[in-house]
Amino acid sequence: MLFKFNPHCNCVGESKFKMTTVENADDVKEDELFCKKSRLDVNNEVTTTETEELFNGVEISKLTKSQMKKYKRMLQWQSVKKLKRAKEKLRTKNRKYEAKMQNIDIGPSRKQLKSAKMANSPCKIGVVIDLSFDELMINKDMGKVIKQILRVYTENRRATAPMQLHLTSFVGRCKEEMSKHNGYENWDMHFHATSYLDVFPKEKLVYLSSESDNVINELEQDKIYIIGGLVDHNSHKGVCHQKAITEGIAHGQLPIGEYFHFVSRKVFTINQVFEILLRVSEGKTFKEAFEMVLPKRINMQPALDNSNIE
């Protein structure tokens, strides 16, 4: 028993989905998922309404042949886009229904996620993304940093117990790049124009660096862990480690070397480091977090001396 799209629904409050017997969602024909508002008829001709519409400032009836072709392509694209959205919504609804019937946990509901804000979270572990490396990156790399931050934010919002997430030195090009994402100011994230040294007590700060000799085997609730907001192409080796030493704050590396052996240098993306911290804060071991987060293509060999590590 699956849900099937009902395109003929006109009543306010009536569900656009009805229960019917369908073997799987892919069997639903696209003609059953048509867009009611499409103005292309079966002969691919544009139909007009009593109120003349405009296309690029020109009335539809006065469009040239080339403009009419563009207009038709736009309508077709809009129709296909709505078809895809409706079909994906149908698949999602059926997946949830099947999971419920099989007692499979599908994660927190939207209502739960909406209430899972940082202020209400039982997890008080802080994570800072340090954005003070403007001068070390070209615009392309700055764009990559912002994309990784978007992934960080997405992971934290999906968590039932989100971590306390901060962006520091949020000025200049990184802020300009972020401004391309409308409404980011309303995200459940703390934005600071100043350095983390001006926001948190120095004794609570721990800068994460693969060059550090200190290994972090557990996360402390009252600590603030700093991730360098830098796309590293091996041209800035040790810059975060040196910054921590210069500023006189604690530093450490994640214990991946205790579980896995790497042929090359252990450098991960901002979102990978954050997700590892998030999984550990949720109760996973570091080993489990590494296996969950790091891509399979990374050649991780079991460490030879980890027989006594739990």
**H-helix or E-strand containing 191?**
strand 190-191
What are the angstrom distances between the C-alpha of 98 and each of 1, 27, 32, 53, 235?
9, 16, 22, 44, 50
* pLDDT tier for residue 218 given thresholds of 50, 70 and 90: very high
Active site annotation includes 232: yes
**Bigger pLDDT: 50 vs 229:** 229
Q: How far apart are CA 274 and CA 163, in angstroms?
A: 10
Angle at 166 between CA 165 and CA 168, to 5 degrees: 160
Whether 73 has a pLDDT exceeding 80, the answer reads yes
Q: Record the pTM.
A: 0.64
Q: What are all long-range contacts of 73-80, with beta carbons under 8 Å and residues at least 24 apart? A: 75/38, 75/39, 75/40, 75/46, 76/40, 78/35, 78/38, 79/34, 79/35, 79/38, 79/40
Whether 269 has a pLDDT exceeding 60, the answer reads yes
Closest CA to 185 of 170, 200, 163: 170
Closest CA to 226 of 193, 261, 274, 284: 274
For CATH 3.40.1280.30, the residue range(s) in the chain are 119-302
* pLDDT tier for residue 244 given thresholds of 50, 70 and 90: very high
- Out of 100-114, 144-158, 260-274, pick the least confident: 100-114
Closest CA to 93 of 24, 8, 13: 24
In this structure, which topology does domain 119-302 adopt according to CATH?
A: Alpha/beta knot (3.40.1280)
**H-helix or E-strand containing 19?**
strand 17-20
For the segment 168-184, what is each residue's pLDDT rounded down to a tens digit? 999 999 999 999 999 99
For the segment 12-55, what is each residue's pLDDT rounded down to a tens digit? 444 444 444 444 444 444 444 433 444 444 455 555 444 557 77
Q: Which of 130, 188, 232, 305 is catalytic?
A: 232
For the segment 97-107, what is each residue's pLDDT rounded down to a tens digit? 777 777 775 55
